[in-house]
Amino acid sequence: MNKPENNPLVENYDLPQFSKIAAEHIKPAVDYTLSEARKKLSQVENSEEISWQSLIEPLSEIGQMVDKVWSPVSHLNSVRNSQDLRVAYQENLGDIVQFSLEMSQSSKIFKALEKLSRSDMCSSFDGAQKRILENFISSAKLSGVGLEGENKEEFNRLAKDLSELETSFSNNVLDATKEFQLLIDNKSYVDSMPQSFLALASQTYEQKYQGKEKKSSTPEDGPWLVTLDAPSFIPFMESCPERQLREKVYKAYITRASSGSFNNEENICKILQYRKRQAELLGYKNYAHVSLARKMAPSVESVYQLETDLLEPSFQAAKKEFSDLNSFAKSQGFKNTHLSQWDTSYWAKKQKEHLFDYTEDQLKPYFSLSNVLKGLFDLSKDIFGIKIVEDDTRIDKWHEDVRFFKIFDEQNQHIASFYLDPFSRPENKRGGAWMGECIVRQKRSDATVDKPVAYLVCNFTPPLGSTPSLLTFRDVETLFHEFGHGLQHMLTKVDYPEASGINGVEWDAVELPSQFMENWCYHEKTFFGFAKHYETQETLDKKTYQKLGDSRKYLAGSSMLRQIQFGLIDMELHDQFDPTGSVSVFEKQLEVVKRTSVLNPLEEDRFICGFSHIFAGGYAAGYYSYKWAEVLSADAFSLFEEVGLENKDELKKIGHLFKDTVLSLGGGEHPMTVFERFRGRPPKVDALLKSYGLSV
């Protein structure tokens, strides 16, 4: 097959040419690349030599070939989604999955891998090489290399179907989120709502009806358009005084993608059924056990034990928090007996303002994106010794808002780069925030090193008119969180792509660097480095900073309880639930919520129809990872607290140790070994409970 001409996906490039990639480029590029990859795969299979150079290196090269084409396509499907791109993505996804299965299920390669693992040569491998070899063998087993005949055919058919179902799930969430809109043209309905929200709702209306025969909107007089996109949904639920409107929007959110043409119910049932069947074909009890086979947690039972240990203290704390919130609401004129789900955010915001004497809208002018980035970069220089410089000259982007940065080490050597896509675009960008891999670090045979490049993607409120992007403090934490993921990808010192950055890291340890970085938002020097008014550059007063720190534990029990609820829903659906049984997924969801919520659950709640983490995002039977890794991250940060958060020299010393272990070693060593090298001992849960204000 000839190489396609004028196709940006197969041209030699340092960075993807996003603006040139069109839907019609995808199939020719995929077909050509898979054809070339199969030739190389055949050469590996037919080689009689058994060595790292003849086996692992060419397999790695094949994987990189395919990733170079498919990775930018997958990325664009998330950040520049369109109907033609979506169709092309889905049409080629099956071929990508099929080739992945061919590689993983090659009996010749599997036998060669096992032979290499038993050879004398293996004893000379470094720790990362041994881990990579073990992971190749483990992945092959979990991909069905041991299956034959009808079982193998069924497994592969299920794998292809699952990839399509998960993509369909994600598309339905995106489309259902876009579909809902609430038009408000009565000024009394938005009375007392913050100006920042009104400006966004007005701008959303203008963008929606631009060029159409509709009256124009202003923040002061409307009309205003409310959507289910996070920058709109969250402040609306927190500040809309009209209870009936809050109920309408809340119920629309928890029933997203649960009816009509974007209904995910069938997708969920099939995904659970197919995962369970695949697990059975592999000889496992269910998918939860498959998931745990490659994680840090030793067993499904250990996950339940962690959730149980945290459930009781968080539930008791949440009960008191809700009782106090209910009493506060009544003291402020709330007439009903109990708060409902659509009331809690509204009254919690008011109670928080009452207790701590500040509002989010008062704080946002002090958290401009540009100032927060500067504070984050200054912190990174102080504790990790890296310099971050914006440099987007000649950088091709997928949107004009995207920015590009380079990272330099203490010798001023360029070591990594990252894209930042900060703003919400509900028309074609999926919600949430994430770090993705653009280029993975690896050392080539000629001793040159591919420098890692990351995608950092968020959904912050964009600039409104002449006002720059202003963040909530939760947005600030999100930015620090995703940057933590990026640091692990970009500061790795591992030269093998299968173990550099987050690759090869057990999934339940991946959140350690990200959650660790969130703690620095409250670090006094860091905070005052970015908390400057966007117009005057006046620094936020220290009294408000102290109140912000005090408010960190506000509703902490409820926050932890919610995460435990998500983790248990995920684990029980993949461990205890029978997708072909008489109990529906919604009944199972309801049963878990009853055990893990202080509010009576709503019968119509269909939250899981939008639970992309576990049905389209790689966290299946793994959502518990957030809490598992939070134990590690809290304990890791406590070492900085022990040496003194104002002790610059000690912070730098411990920061470099964190960089040289957690951020550098990637998947080259087991995460428990890495943690103990940093902390000097196994992790303890005490620091996590203390950070939530719960009893140790």
Please list the active-site residues.
482
- What contacts 296, CB < 8 A, 6 or more positions away? 506, 507, 508, 509, 628, 670, 671, 672
Residue 263's alpha-carbon distances to 85, 157, 170, in angstroms, are 21, 23, 11
CA angle, residues 518, 672, 56, in degrees to nearest 5: 105
C-alpha–C-alpha distance, residues 364 and 372, integer Å: 11
Closest by CA position to 326, among listed 585, 34, 558? 558
Closest by CA position to 317, among listed 534, 536, 559, 494? 559
Beta bridge partners of 416: 407
C-alpha–C-alpha distance, residues 621 and 508, integer Å: 10
C-alpha–C-alpha distance, residues 670 and 441, integer Å: 19
- What contacts 367, CB < 8 A, 6 or more positions away? 470, 471, 472, 473, 475, 476, 530, 531
**Are the C-beta atoms of 430 and 170 separated by less than 8 Å?**
yes
- Residue 604: how many other CB atoms lie within 10 Å: 10
C-alpha–C-alpha distance, residues 229 and 687, integer Å: 34
C-alpha–C-alpha distance, residues 250 and 255, integer Å: 9
- What contacts 679, CB < 8 A, 6 or more positions away? 635, 636, 639
**DSSP 8-state secondary structure symbol assigned to residue 664:** T
- Residue 682: how many other CB atoms lie within 10 Å: 9
**DSSP 8-state secondary structure symbol assigned to residue 660:** I
Measure CA 308 to chain center. 24
- Token representation of residue 366: 């002090």
CA angle, residues 166, 172, 176, in degrees to nearest 5: 155
